[in-house]
Amino acid sequence: MTPTNSRPSHPTITITVNGETHKFMRGEVSNMVSPSHTLAHTLRERLGLTGTKISCDHGACGCCTVLLDGKAVLSCMLLTLECEGKEITTIEGLGDAATGALDPLQQSFIDHTAFQCGFCTPGIIMSAKALLTENPSPTKEEVQEALSGNFCRCNSHYHVLDAVLAVTERREDE
């Protein structure tokens, strides 16, 4: 592959992933981040964060969902270079880094066996996390809507809904 010239004004790209800041050289050489690399690719291949799964690789299945500044995004549809200065959270960074405690959502997925093969589970948990951050007491329909971009072929949907609703903040009037 022929190396392309990086623009001298932006030779690097800096992203924060799960609280750790990473600085990459931009370019086409194997240890650089290429302008064509997706965030999913960088997370998996450069940072070894393989909890973020790639299934369709074109924004249809939600398996690669991560948080970007707290919002759910499809990491296969974002170029890494678009994430300059952003805070990324992946499934590996969801628990409490200091204590190792799981996020309540993760514990609830365990308690409800809210998965079967588990391939789509990280993406589903990240979508649910983004929802609960924005709306701590969603209705069942709101959870369904928030997860409607996540493909689950084993049909663990029903257990997932139980697991997510179990950690929502119940409103007083309910």
Candidate residues 46, 79, 119, 167; the one interacting with other proteins per rule CB under 8 A: 119
Binders of other proteins among 9-28, rule CB under 8 A?
Answer: none
Looking at the Cβ atoms of 85 and 88, the one nearer to other proteins is 88
Binders of other proteins among 61-80, rule CB under 8 A?
Answer: 61, 63
User: What is the phi-psi region of residue 151: left when phi exceeds 0, alpha when psi lies from -120 to 50, beta otherwise?
Assistant: beta
| 130 binds other proteins per the rule CB under 8 A | no
User: Which residues, 6 or more positions from 162, have their beta carbon under 8 angstroms from its beta carbon?
Assistant: 112, 114
Q: Cα Rg for the chain, rounded, in angstroms?
A: 17
Candidate residues 20, 69, 96, 145; the one interacting with other proteins per rule CB under 8 A: 145
Q: How far is the CB of 23 from other proteins (least distance, A)?
A: 22
Query: How far apart are alpha carbons 147 and 165 in whole angstroms?
Result: 13
CA torsion through residues 98, 33, 49, 102, sign: positive
Pairing of strands 87-89, 12-17: parallel
| 109 binds other proteins per the rule CB under 8 A | yes
End-to-end, the C-alpha distance of the chain in Å comes to: 61
Would you state the torsion angle of the CA atoms of residues 95, 160, 83, 32, taken in this order, to the nearest 10 degrees? 80
Which part of the chain contacts other proteins (CB under 8 A), choosing from 7-15, 78-86, 129-137, 157-165?
157-165
Candidate residues 121, 131, 138, 168; the one interacting with other proteins per rule CB under 8 A: 121
| 91 binds other proteins per the rule CB under 8 A | yes
What is the size of the binding site for other proteins (CB under 8 A)? 56
- Which residues lie near other proteins (CB under 8 A)? 1, 30, 44, 49-58, 60-61, 63, 90-92, 94-95, 102, 106-107, 109-113, 115-122, 125, 143-145, 147-161
